[in-house]
Amino acid sequence: MEKALHKIELMSFLKKNPTVSTQELLNFYRQFNPDLPMNTLRWRIYELKQQGIIYSPKRGLYSLNTKESFQPLPLQKMEELADLLQEKFPYVRFSIYPTKWLGNLSNHIYITNNLVIEIDADVLDAAFHFLKEHFPNTFLSPEQKMYDYYILPQEENIIINRLHVDAPLNKVRKNYYTPKLEKLIIDLLINDPIIFPVGGAEIKTIIRNAVDTYNINYSTLTRYANKRNTKKQIDKLISLGGITKNDS
C-alpha cells in the first residue's frame, strides 16, 4: 500500500496544483496504474488523510496538508461531565468543550476557562437543573448582563446551551461529542448566547488565527453558517481578508 500511494510524486503534484478534484487524483494515479478502479482510489484517499498528507478543504476537493488538524485533547473535567450526562441522558446527544480552546487562539491571555455543554433542545432545561444540583456555578444560555454580574472569570463555570441540529461534531463515545473547529468559528462569530466574552475585534483575531493555524473544511463551515443564518458575516470576513480561502 505504501508504495502504491506514490507519496513523493503526489506531494510534488499537489505543490503544483494546490487543489485537485477526485477525478484529477484518479488521473494522477492512473499514470502508474491505467486500470485503477475508483474504489481503490477512495481507499488511497482515506489512507492519505489518515497519514496527514492530504485534507479536504471542500467536498470532493483535496489539498496538500501544510497545516495542523484541530484535535485538542479532552480535559478531565469534560470526561467527568460526560459520564454524568451519559448516565442521566443515555440517548441524547451532547457536546462539551472548554473555552480555553478559543482562548488559545487569541493574541491575549485570558484567565477565563469555562466549560460549554450543548445538548438537544428537548432536554435543555432538565439538563441545566440536573447539572446545577452538582455544580452551582452552572448557567443557562447567558447574556452579557449575566456575565457582567454573576459569572466570575476566575472560576471554572459551566455554560449550557442548545445543541443545533446537524452541528459539525466529532464523536468521542456513544452520545458524547466535541465540536469541530468550523462549528466553533461560527458559534463565536455569533456569540449569542455568549460562549466567550470578548469584543468583535478580538473575535475576528481568534477566527483569523484559527484559519491560519488549522485546516478548515469550507463546505462544513458554510453549511453550518447557513444553518445559523450567518453566511453573510462569513462572506464579509472572507471579502475583507479575515478568512483566506484556499479552495478557490
Report the distance separating Cα 63 and Cα 58, nearest Å: 9
What is the pLDDT averaged over residues 145-162? 81
Q: Taken in order 183, 185, 186, 187, is the CA torsion positive or negative?
A: positive
| pLDDT at residue number 210 | 93
| pLDDT at residue number 248 | 36
1 or 35: which carries more pLDDT confidence?
35
This prediction has a pTM of 0.82
Confidence of residue 247 (pLDDT cuts 50, 70, 90): very low
Q: Taken in order 220, 224, 230, 232, is the CA torsion positive or negative?
A: positive
- 193: which residues sit within 8 A by CB, 6+ positions away? 141, 142, 143, 159, 161
Strand-pair category, 61-64 with 176-179: unpaired
Structural domains in the chain, sorted by start? 2-64 (1.10.10.10), 76-239 (no CATH)
Q: Where does residue 243 fall: left (phi above 0), alpha (psi -120 to 50 degrees), or beta otherwise?
A: beta
Residues linked to residue 169 through DSSP beta bridges, in sequence order: 179
Report the distance separating Cα 14 and Cα 51, nearest Å: 16
Closest Cα to residue 220, out of 55, 75, 9? Answer: 55
What is the pLDDT averaged over residues 13-37? 95
Mean pLDDT of the chain: 90
CB 58 within 8 A of CB 218: yes
| pLDDT at residue number 150 | 74
The three cell numbers locating residue 25:
487524483
Q: Where does residue 66 fall: left (phi above 0), alpha (psi -120 to 50 degrees), or beta otherwise?
A: alpha
